[in-house]
Amino acid sequence: MPVDIKGKKYTTVAERIDKLRRECPYSIATEFVKLEVELCVMKATLTIYKDEKELTYTGHAFELQSSSYINKTSFIENCETSAMGRALSAAGYGGDEFCSADELTSALKNQGKTFNSTRNSDSSKSKPYQMKPAAYCVDCKAGITEGIKKVSESRYNKLLCIPCQNKQKAGEFSQSIVKLEEVVS
């Protein structure tokens, strides 16, 4: 259900993905652009398969671990969701606004504040953030977060990282085309 913030309706990323899922096949992949002790920059690439075309959209997001209470434990997950939301908005799944409801709420709450990272600004001394995975993908052994683990278990009954989930979806899509061709012939 859309969230009302200052008179505007903002749709959650989960709702937008659900709408897209009902309309056409798609894949969405995320990658770290930068990951350090207290900051994360992510890129999401959304590919929509529609009318025999492959349409690609991207979204980027930036999060600081110290920027909010929830980010103390989940800044990577928030960054990934925001990047996905921006890619969805670029594809027309998000209403009139590119920011998510959570991004807008956080921005309004933090207006006028500045964030100082305790990390040394000398990039030669920065240390990569070490995240302990919640589980590992059964296909490629990549580490996966708790959120991805839950989604993978509920959709596929096995632990798959996002790229392996996308391969699984692509395989299911091509199998359904083959079955449709068999029915037609």
| Nearest Cα residue to 94 out of 1, 3, 6, 13 | 13
The pair of three-digit structure tokens given for residue 129, joined into one six-digit string: 């953030």
> What count of other Cβ atoms lies within 10 Å of the Cβ of residue 103?
19
In DSSP terms, which residues pair with 35 in a beta bridge?
A: 40
Rounded to two decimals, what is the model's pTM?
0.54
pLDDT tens figures, 6-59: 777 778 888 899 999 999 999 999 999 998 888 899 999 999 998 888 999 999
Mean pLDDT of 155-174: 76
